[in-house]
């Protein structure tokens, strides 16, 4: 009798363990699976390069203020609204959000954050944070996309129709940018007083046309943090972090998939947000 009781107990423990593992590996319904492969689009900065990406999941929407509040307990955004994208978040804030959301969903955090050790590779003179952040490659938690992953997803991956913007060749169909993000359409050259008087601001996520993969707002609304350092022949290495997609206050060319955006890692832009990724 005791032997059978022990066997039943072991079976129950194994069953609970399996349920726990399955739960921790569950994929949120606000993530889209991106099938890996080589770049099909010719409208990215990686086109023609011998790069093959693995499958990954990416946020269907930019991280909203509700999602941020549910994880972090605050809302730094200037333009309030639960379904608007969170903004005024630094690259460091974004990294912390990824880890905190991972823990909340019983996932292994992707980043190790050492706030006591200065990142000696960080050459940005304006950055007074300079935490040392390293990655845990075997982790199943949330992370920021690499620039290549971001452009691949924005361009539609293997379903790409070769659009200039994410989902269209017409920016007014796919993007919120300085000419259409206010009370009325603006014309002419970029003009801050006109933008301010027009009450330009972020928009609730998912209002524009989705791209080929069903992902929204990868062009415009808020700029989105990526993992790595911005690299360009005309700029110093390890100075800025990559920031992609343009935002509500930006000129239309910054909403192009290939635009090489960058920002101080400790920058608090009113159009600076994020979108999360998980490895498959």
Say if CB 105 and CB 276 are below 8 A apart. Answer: no
What percent of the chain has pLDDT above 70? Answer: 91
Residue whose C-alpha is closest to residue 203's, from 227, 172, 157: 172
Supply the pLDDT for residue 21: 36
Confidence of residue 12 (pLDDT cuts 50, 70, 90): very low
Unique residue bearing structure tokens 């913007």: 165
In sequence order, what E strands does the chain have? 31-34, 37-38, 52-53, 56-59, 111-118, 131-135, 223-229, 241-244, 262-263, 272-273, 277-279
Q: Which residues contact residue 56 at a Cβ distance below 8 angstroms, ignoring those fewer than 6 apart?
A: 33, 34, 36, 145, 149, 277, 278, 279, 280
Q: Which two tokens stand for residue 269?
A: 């832009």
Strand pairing partners for 59? 31
Helix (H) or strand (E) run with residue 98 in it: helix 91-104
For 63-102, write each residue's pLDDT tens digit: 999 999 999 999 999 999 999 999 999 999 999 999 999 9
Of 249, 241, 235, 232, the closest CA to residue 274 belongs to: 241
Residue 2 pLDDT exceeds 60: no
Res. 9 pLDDT band, cuts 50 70 90: very low
- The pair of structure tokens assigned to 217 is 């707002």
Check if the beta carbon of residue 239 is closer than 8 Å to that of residue 123: yes
Q: Average of pLDDT values for 177-206?
A: 97
Q: Which residues have a Cβ under 8 Å from the Cβ of 25 and sit 6 or more positions away?
A: 107, 140
Whole-prediction pTM: 0.90
Residue 232: the pLDDT is: 80
- φ/ψ of 33, rounded to 5, equals -75, 125
Cα–chain center distance at 138: 20
- Dump pLDDT digits (tens) for 93-140: 999 999 999 999 999 999 999 999 999 999 999 999 999 999 999 999
CATH code: domain 29-279 is 3.90.1580.10
Please state whether 47 falls in left (phi above 0), alpha (psi between -120 and 50) or beta.
beta
């Amino acid at each position: 009798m005791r032997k059978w009781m022990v066997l039943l107990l072991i079976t129950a423990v194994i069953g609970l363990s399996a349920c726990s593992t399955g739960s921790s590996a569950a994929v949120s319904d606000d993530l889209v699976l991106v099938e890996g492969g080589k770049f099909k689009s010719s409208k990215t900065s990686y086109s023609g390069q011998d790069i093959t990406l693995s499958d990954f999941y990416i946020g269907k929407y930019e991280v909203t203020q509700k999602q941020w509040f549910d994880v972090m307990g605050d809302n730094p955004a200037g333009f309030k609204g639960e379904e608007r994208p969170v903004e005024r978040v630094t690259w460091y804030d974004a990294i912390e959000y990824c880890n905190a959301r991972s823990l909340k969903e019983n996932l292994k955090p992707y980043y190790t954050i050492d706030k006591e050790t200065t990142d000696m590779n960080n050459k940005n003179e304006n950055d007074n944070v300079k935490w040392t952040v390293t990655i845990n490659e075997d982790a199943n938690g949330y992370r920021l996309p690499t620039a290549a992953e971001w452009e691949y997803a924005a361009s539609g991956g293997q379903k790409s129709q070769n659009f200039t913007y994410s989902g269209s060749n017409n920016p007014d169909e796919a993007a919120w940018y300085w000419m259409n993000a206010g009370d009325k359409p603006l014309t002419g050259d970029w003009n801050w007083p006109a933008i301010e008087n027009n009450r330009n601001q972020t928009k609730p996520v998912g209002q524009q046309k989705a791209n080929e993969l069903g992902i929204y707002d990868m062009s415009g609304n808020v700029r989105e943090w990526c993992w790595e350092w911005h690299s360009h022949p005309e700029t110093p290495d390890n100075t800025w972090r990559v920031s992609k997609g343009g935002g509500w206050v930006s000129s239309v060319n910054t909403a192009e998939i290939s635009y090489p955006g960058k920002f101080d890692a400790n920058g608090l832009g009113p159009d600076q947000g994020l979108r999360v990724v998980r490895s498959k």
